[in-house]
Chain A
Amino acid sequence: MTITDDGFIATRRLILQGALTVALVGLGEIPFSLAPALAAANDKYPEDAFKQKAEADAIKSLYGRTAEPSDKVKLDAPEIAENGAVVPISVSTTLADVTSISFLVADNPNALAASYQIPPGTMPSIANRLKMAKTSNVTAIVEAGGKLYSATKEVKVTVGGCGG
Chain B
Amino acid sequence: MRSAIPPASAALALAALALAALAFAAPRPAVAADTPDPVADAAAFQKYFTNKFPKLKLEDFVNGPYSLNEDMHRQWVEKEEFPPYDFSLDLGKEMFAKPFKNGKSYADCFPNQGIGIRQNYPYFDAKEGKVVTLELALNRCREANGEPPFSYVKDEMAALTAYMAFTSRGKPFDIKIPNDPRALAAYQNGKRYFYTRRGQLNFSCASCHVQSPGQRIRAEILAPALGILNAMPIYRSEWGGMGTISRRFISCNSQTRAVPLDPQADEYRDLEYYLSYVSNGLPISGPGARP
Whether A and B touch (Cβ < 8 Å) is answered with: yes
Name A residues whose Cβ lies closer than 8 Å to a Cβ of B. Answer: 78-83, 85-88, 90, 127, 129, 158-159
**A159 and B219 contacting across the interface, CB-CB below 8 Å:** yes
**A78 and B71 contacting across the interface, CB-CB below 8 Å:** yes
* Residue of A79, A80, A86 contacting most chain B CB atoms (<10 Å): A86
Interface check B84, CB cutoff 8 A: yes
Task: Please name all residues of chain A whose beta carbon is closer than 8 Å to the beta carbon of B219 when the two chains form the complex.
Answer: 158-159
**B238 and A159 contacting across the interface, CB-CB below 8 Å:** yes
Interface check B172, CB cutoff 8 A: no
Q: Which residues of chain B from 217 to 231 have a CB within 8 Å of any chain A CB?
A: 218-220
Given the contacts A88-B78, A88-B79, A158-B219, A79 and B71 also touching, CB distance less than 8 Å: yes
Interface check B260, CB cutoff 8 A: no
CB distance from B91 to the nearest CB of A (A): 20
Interface check B257, CB cutoff 8 A: no
Given the contacts A83-B237, A83-B238, A83-B291, A127 and B78 also touching, CB distance less than 8 Å: yes
Task: Please name all residues of chain A whose beta carbon is closer than 8 Å to the beta carbon of B291 when the two chains form the complex.
Answer: 82-83
Name B residues whose Cβ lies closer than 8 Å to a Cβ of A. Answer: 71-72, 74-76, 78-79, 84, 218-220, 237-238, 240, 291
Q: Which 3 A-B pairs have the closest CB atoms?
A: A158-B219, A83-B237, A82-B291
CB distance from A54 to the nearest CB of B (A): 27
CB distance from B195 to the nearest CB of A (A): 28
Given the contacts A83-B238, A83-B291, A88-B79, A78 and B74 also touching, CB distance less than 8 Å: yes
- What are 19 A-B pairs at a CB distance below 8 A? A78-B71, A78-B75, A80-B72, A82-B72, A82-B75, A82-B76, A82-B237, A83-B291, A86-B84, A86-B237, A87-B75, A88-B75, A88-B79, A90-B78, A127-B78, A129-B79, A158-B218, A158-B219, A159-B220
Task: Please name all residues of chain B whose beta carbon is closer than 8 Å to the beta carbon of A85 when the two chains form the complex.
Answer: 237-238, 240
Alpha-carbon distance A158/B79, docked complex (angstroms): 19
Alpha-carbon distance A82/B79, docked complex (angstroms): 11
Task: Please name all residues of chain B whose beta carbon is closer than 8 Å to the beta carbon of A79 when the two chains form the complex.
Answer: 71
**B79 and A86 contacting across the interface, CB-CB below 8 Å:** yes
CB distance from A162 to the nearest CB of B (A): 11
CB distance from B10 to the nearest CB of A (A): 76
What 13 new A-B contacts, CB under 8 Å, besides A78-B75, A88-B75? A80-B71, A82-B75, A82-B76, A82-B237, A82-B291, A83-B238, A85-B240, A86-B79, A88-B79, A158-B218, A158-B219, A158-B220, A159-B238
Alpha-carbon distance A97/B266, docked complex (angstroms): 64
Task: Please name all residues of chain A whose beta carbon is closer than 8 Å to the beta carbon of B237 when the two chains form the complex.
Answer: 82-83, 85-86
Task: Please name all residues of chain B whose beta carbon is closer than 8 Å to the beta carbon of A129 when the two chains form the complex.
Answer: 79
CB distance from B68 to the nearest CB of A (A): 12
Alpha-carbon distance A57/B240, docked complex (angstroms): 31
CB distance from B67 to the nearest CB of A (A): 13
* Residue of B72, B75, B78, B79 contacting most chain A CB atoms (<10 Å): B75
CB distance from A110 to the nearest CB of B (A): 20
Task: Please name all residues of chain B whose beta carbon is closer than 8 Å to the beta carbon of A78 when the two chains form the complex.
Answer: 71-72, 74-75
Task: Please name all residues of chain B whose beta carbon is closer than 8 Å to the beta carbon of A90 when the two chains form the complex.
Answer: 78
Task: Please name all residues of chain B whose beta carbon is closer than 8 Å to the beta carbon of A88 when the two chains form the complex.
Answer: 75, 78-79
* Residue of A81, A82, A86, A129 contacting most chain B CB atoms (<10 Å): A82
Alpha-carbon distance A101/B78, docked complex (angstroms): 20
Q: Please name the residue on chain B nearest to A84 by beta carbon.
A: B237
Alpha-carbon distance A148/B71, docked complex (angstroms): 29
Alpha-carbon distance A79/B76, docked complex (angstroms): 13
Task: Please name all residues of chain A whose beta carbon is closer than 8 Å to the beta carbon of B78 when the two chains form the complex.
Answer: 88, 90, 127
Alpha-carbon distance A127/B71, docked complex (angstroms): 17
Alpha-carbon distance A159/B75, docked complex (angstroms): 15
Alpha-carbon distance A12/B72, docked complex (angstroms): 42
